[in-house]
Chains A and B, each alone.
Chain A
Amino acid sequence: MSGRRAGAISLRILQQFRHDRRTLMLLFGAPIILLGLFYFLTGGGSSLPAVDVVNLDRGSLGAVLAADLGQSTEIDVARTTEARAASDLSADAVAAYVVLPADLSARAQSGDVIAPAVHLEGTQPALTQPVLLALDQSVTRASRNLAAAEGVRVPVLEPSLDYLHGGPGLDTLDYFGGAFIGLVVFLLVFVVTIIAFLRERSQGTLERLMASPLRRADIVVGYIGGFMVVATVQAVEVVVFTLYALHVHNQGDVALIVLLTLLLTLVAVNLGIFLSMFATTEFQAVQFIPLAIVPQVLLSGIVFPVATEPGWLQVVSRLLPLTYGVDGLRDVMLKGNGLTSGPLLLDIAVVLAFAVALIAAATATLRRSAS
C-alpha cells in the first residue's frame, strides 16, 4: 500500500464532489428533509385521528368520560348523535366512533365490566390503536375522578369492537398488501424508465431521433407503448402473486386492481421521462430515487395515514399521484368498492389526470433544438 497513491484517490473523490453540487445537496440536504418528514409523520405536530363520541349514559360517568376524551392527546373528539356518527364513519370523515351505553354509570357503580361500543373504520391499523388507547386512559382518569365523590370504582374496560371494513381477521400483510402492489410497480417502472430514457439522451440517440421526422409526441407515445406492454405483464404477475400466492385479503374486483396498477405505471413512465430531463448521468438519475420516491412512500398514506399528518403535509400528500393510487387500491381490496363508488372513481380520475399532465410535461421537455 502506498499512502501517496491512496491519497491521490481520496483527493480525486473530493474533487469530484466539489464539481457535483447536486450530489452534495443530496448528501447534506436529503437527511434533514427525510428525518424532518419522519418527525412530522410520527407525532411531532401531527394531526390526531378524528373520532365521534355518542353519550347515551343515563348516569354521570358518560359525560365525564366524554369530556375527558375531549382532552385526549391521542384523538380529536367531537360529540354527536349515533346516526350522525355512523354516517361520518362511512364517509371516512372519522377513524372511529365510540358509543357510551345507557347503563355505563350503573355498571361502573356495581363493579361490572363496562363495554362501550367502538365502531372502527378498520382499513388503517395506525388509526385504530390511538382510539383504544385514548379510551382506556380516559376511563381510568374519569372513574378515578368520580371515585371519591360517587363511590365509582375503576371499572374493567372491555370495549366491544365493530369494524366497518376489514376487522380482526386481517393481518398486517392484508392492510399493506394493496398499497405495496401500487408502490412496487410504481417504483420499479419509474427507475427503469428514467434510466432507459437517460441512456437515450446520453448515448446521443435522442438527438438522432430529433434529427428525424419524428414528432415529440411520437417518442413519448412510443415509450408509453413499449413500457406498458412490459408493465401489463408485471402488473398481472404482481397482482396474481399477491392474491393467490401470498393470499392477501381482497374484497373487490381483481380487474380494478390491475387497472389501478396500470394507471400508476402510466404515471411512473411519464414521470421517468420528465425527470430524466433534469439528470445528465445515470448516477444523477439514481439520485432521484431517494429524492422523488422516498417522500412519496412516506407521504402517500402507505404506513402513515394521510389524515394524521400535519395540515401542511396533507397538502403535499394530496399533490402526489401515489396517494390516490394507494387509496384506490385500499378501496378495492379492503372495502370491496367497485366502479359505483364515488371515492374510488375520484381516485381513478385523479391518477388518470396525473398521467395526462405528466404525458404533456414529458412531451414538453423533449425540445427539438438546443437553446
Chain B
Amino acid sequence: MSAPSVAVSVEGLTKTFGSIRALDGVSLTVGTGEIYGLLGPNGAGKTTLIRSLVGLITADTGTVTVLGRRLPDRAVLAEVGYMPQSPALYADLTVEENVNFFAAVHDLDRPSAARSTADALELVDLSPRRRSVVATLSGGMRQRVSLACALVHRPRLLLLDEPTVGVDPQLRAELWRQFTTMSGEGTTIIVSSHVMDEAERCGRLGLVRFGRMLAEGTSAELRRLAGVERLEDAFLVLSESRS
C-alpha cells in the first residue's frame, strides 16, 4: 500500500513486444491532484506506459500501483478514466448515447449517469450536438466525445493519451482550464503530449524516450537542467545527451 498522497507508483516497468523494447525499466511516482505530463516522440513508450496503468498491458517485470491498489485489480478501474489515443467510440450511436454508455459501464446508476453525461458534455462544449450520431462529427469533435467518455464517472485518476489532437486552440485552452480545476479538486491527471505549450501547463513532466525515463521535473527545472530558455530546446538537448 502506498500513502494516500501518492496516486500512481510505477517501479522498474519493462515490456517487450517481439524484438522491440517498449518499456525499459520505467519508474514513476505521481502525487494526488498532480497534473503529470509525459513528453516524448512517437514510439517513445508513452502509450505503452499509459496502457499499463489501466491493466491493458501486463509488464514483463516491475510493478504498478494505482490509487493504493497493486495491479492487476479490476475494482480500482471504476475510479480511473482512460482516454485512448484514437477516439474509440461507437460511431453509430449518438454523442449522448456513447457518453451515457461509458457512465453505466463505470457503475453509475441511471439518474446519475444522465446527470453526469449532461455535465461531461457541457465540459467538452458538445451539449448542442448531443443528439448527433458520432459518425457525422469532425475529428476534433470525436476527440471531445472521447474525453467526455473518459471523465463522465468523475474518476480520481484520469489518463489522457494525447487528448487535444485535432482540437482547436480555443477549446484546447478551455479544456486545460478544466483539467487545472479538476486537479485542484483532487483529481490526478496523467497526460501524454508532444505539444510544448501543453507541457508548460503540467505541474511536472517526464521525458520518455526509447522506453526510458530520461529526465523528470517541472518545466523550469528541465530548462535549467538543459541550460536553455525554451522547453522545446530542453527536450531536444536532454534527449540527445541522455540517450
Give B149's nearest chain A residue, CB to CB: A208
Cβ of A83 within 8 Å of any chain B Cβ, yes or no, is no
Cβ of A213 within 8 Å of any chain B Cβ, yes or no, is yes
What is the bound-complex CA distance between A369 and B89, given in angstroms?
20
Cβ of A214 within 8 Å of any chain B Cβ, yes or no, is yes
Cβ of A370 within 8 Å of any chain B Cβ, yes or no, is yes
Report whether B57 and A203 are in contact in the complex, using a CB–CB cutoff of 8 Å: no
Report whether B55 and A205 are in contact in the complex, using a CB–CB cutoff of 8 Å: no
**CB contact under 8 A between A208 and B88, given known A213-B74, A368-B72:** yes
Report whether B82 and A211 are in contact in the complex, using a CB–CB cutoff of 8 Å: yes
Chain B, residues 77-90, CB within 8 Å of chain A (1/0): the string is 11010101010111
Which B residues from 48 to 91 make CB contacts under 8 A with A? 51, 54-58, 72, 74-75, 77-78, 80, 82, 84, 86, 88-91
Cβ of B36 within 8 Å of any chain A Cβ, yes or no, is no
**CB contact under 8 A between A205 and B89, given known A369-B55, A369-B58, A370-B57:** yes
Report whether B77 and A211 are in contact in the complex, using a CB–CB cutoff of 8 Å: yes
Report whether A211 and B54 are in contact in the complex, using a CB–CB cutoff of 8 Å: yes
Report whether B149 and A213 are in contact in the complex, using a CB–CB cutoff of 8 Å: no
Cβ of B107 within 8 Å of any chain A Cβ, yes or no, is yes
Report whether B91 and A203 are in contact in the complex, using a CB–CB cutoff of 8 Å: yes
Measured between beta carbons, the chain A residues less than 8 angstroms from B82 are 208, 211
**CB contact under 8 A between A207 and B56, given known A213-B75, A215-B74, A369-B72:** yes
Which of under 10, 10 to 19, 20 to 34, or 35 or more describes the interface residues of B? 20 to 34
Report whether A213 and B78 are in contact in the complex, using a CB–CB cutoff of 8 Å: yes
Measured between beta carbons, the chain B residues less than 8 angstroms from A215 are 74
Give B54's nearest chain A residue, CB to CB: A211
Which A residues from 199 to 218 make CB contacts under 8 A with B? 203-205, 207-215
Closest chain B CB from A257 CB (angstroms)? 33
**CB contact under 8 A between A369 and B56, given known A205-B88, A207-B84, A213-B74:** yes
Report whether B56 and A205 are in contact in the complex, using a CB–CB cutoff of 8 Å: no
Cβ of A371 within 8 Å of any chain B Cβ, yes or no, is yes
Which of under 10, 10 to 19, 20 to 34, or 35 or more describes the interface residues of A? 10 to 19
Cβ of B105 within 8 Å of any chain A Cβ, yes or no, is yes
What is the bound-complex CA distance between A208 and B159, given in angstroms?
12
Cβ of B102 within 8 Å of any chain A Cβ, yes or no, is yes
Closest chain B CB from A187 CB (angstroms)? 23
Report whether A203 and B88 are in contact in the complex, using a CB–CB cutoff of 8 Å: yes
Cβ of B21 within 8 Å of any chain A Cβ, yes or no, is no
What is the bound-complex CA distance between A370 and B90, given in angstroms?
22
Measured between beta carbons, the chain A residues less than 8 angstroms from B201 are none
Closest chain A CB from B53 CB (angstroms)? 9
Measured between beta carbons, the chain B residues less than 8 angstroms from A210 are 55-56
Closest chain A CB from B144 CB (angstroms)? 16
What is the bound-complex CA distance between A102 and B149, given in angstroms?
84
Report whether A211 and B105 are in contact in the complex, using a CB–CB cutoff of 8 Å: no
What is the bound-complex CA distance between A85 and B106, given in angstroms?
65
**CB contact under 8 A between A211 and B57, given known A204-B88, A205-B89:** no
Measured between beta carbons, the chain A residues less than 8 angstroms from B58 are 369-371
A203, A205, A371 pick with most chain B CB within 10 angstroms? A205
Give B52's nearest chain A residue, CB to CB: A369
Report whether B105 and A214 are in contact in the complex, using a CB–CB cutoff of 8 Å: yes
Closest chain B CB from A247 CB (angstroms)? 38
What is the bound-complex CA distance between A371 and B89, given in angstroms?
24
Measured between beta carbons, the chain A residues less than 8 angstroms from B72 are 368-369
Closest chain B CB from A214 CB (angstroms)? 6
Measured between beta carbons, the chain B residues less than 8 angstroms from A208 are 82, 84, 88, 102, 149
Give B73's nearest chain A residue, CB to CB: A213
Q: Which of A203, A213, A369 contacts B106 (CB 8 A)?
A: A213
Report whether B90 and A203 are in contact in the complex, using a CB–CB cutoff of 8 Å: yes
Measured between beta carbons, the chain A residues less than 8 angstroms from B107 are 213
A211, A213, A214 pick with most chain B CB within 10 angstroms? A211
What is the bound-complex CA distance between A169 and B72, given in angstroms?
65
Measured between beta carbons, the chain B residues less than 8 angstroms from A207 are 56, 84, 88
B residues within 8 Å of A by Cβ? Answer: 51, 54-58, 72, 74-75, 77-78, 80, 82, 84, 86, 88-91, 102, 105-107, 149
Q: What would 15 A/B residue contacts be, using CB atoms closer than 8 Å?
A: A205-B88, A207-B88, A208-B82, A208-B84, A208-B88, A209-B105, A210-B56, A211-B54, A211-B82, A212-B77, A212-B78, A368-B72, A368-B74, A369-B55, A370-B57
